[in-house]
């Protein structure tokens, strides 16, 4: 029935979704995360030695256990963004527990370049006693190589 207010051509429902607002929101979030990500990195300030070396391949699904040794000789255990000062005995106990939970987790050492060789060897010996078969050493590329 056609009444006086009925139009002959009705509008059909649109079967498409407008994604432009979604893209705008995603780009804004991307910019926010790009700006705030460098501020989120935390850790112990360590002046790494600069050497030319090949990067170590680590499994992408496991985050490495990082043991940092600062210029004063203090040892820090870093898991993700958490950095905890520990003694050598505490380090061995915690690494044993962490490796029992997830075996095969890579262990890396970040040692300040001014720390004595003896302290690094003592640290690596403690890690070996804790059951770490392979220890990676973290360094920085020389400033001229980028």
Three-class SS string for the chain?
A: CCCCCCCCCCCCCCCCCCCHHHHHHHHHHHHHHHHHHHHHCCCCCCCCCECCCCCCCCCCCCCCEEEEECCCCCEEEEECCEEEEECHHHHHHHHHHHHHHCCCCCEEEEECCCCCHHHHHHHHHHHHHCCCCCEEECCECCCCCC
Domain at 109, CATH number: 3.30.420.270
Model pLDDT for residues 33-55, shown as the tens digit of each residue = 888 877 665 555 656 556 665 66
Q: Is residue 11 part of a domain?
A: no
Q: Is residue 9 part of a domain?
A: no
Q: How much of the chain exceeds pLDDT 70, in percent?
A: 75
Q: Is residue 142 part of a domain?
A: yes
Model pLDDT for residues 71-116, shown as the tens digit of each residue = 888 899 887 777 888 888 888 888 888 888 888 788 888 888 788 8
Q: Is residue 36 part of a domain?
A: no
Q: Is residue 2 part of a domain?
A: no
Number of domains in the chain: 1
Q: Is residue 26 part of a domain?
A: no
pTM of the full structure: 0.57
Q: Is residue 113 part of a domain?
A: yes
Q: Is residue 137 part of a domain?
A: yes
């Amino acid at each position: 029935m056609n009444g006086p207010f009925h139009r002959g051509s009705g509008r059909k429902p649109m079967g498409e979704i407008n994604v432009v607002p979604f893209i705008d929101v995603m780009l804004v979030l991307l910019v926010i995360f790009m700006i705030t990500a460098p501020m989120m990195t935390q850790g112990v300030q360590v002046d790494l030695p600069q050497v030319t070396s090949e990067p170590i391949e680590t499994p992408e699904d496991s985050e490495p256990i990082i043991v940092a040794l600062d210029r004063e000789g203090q040892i820090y255990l870093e898991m993700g963004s958490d950095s905890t000062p520990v003694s050598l005995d505490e380090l061995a106990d915690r690494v044993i527990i962490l490796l029992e939970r997830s075996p095969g987790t890579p262990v890396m050492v970040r040692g300040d370049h001014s720390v004595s060789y003896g302290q690094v060897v003592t640290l690596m010996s403690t890690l070996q006693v804790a059951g770490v078969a392979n220890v990676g050493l973290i360094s920085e590329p020389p400033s001229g190589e980028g």
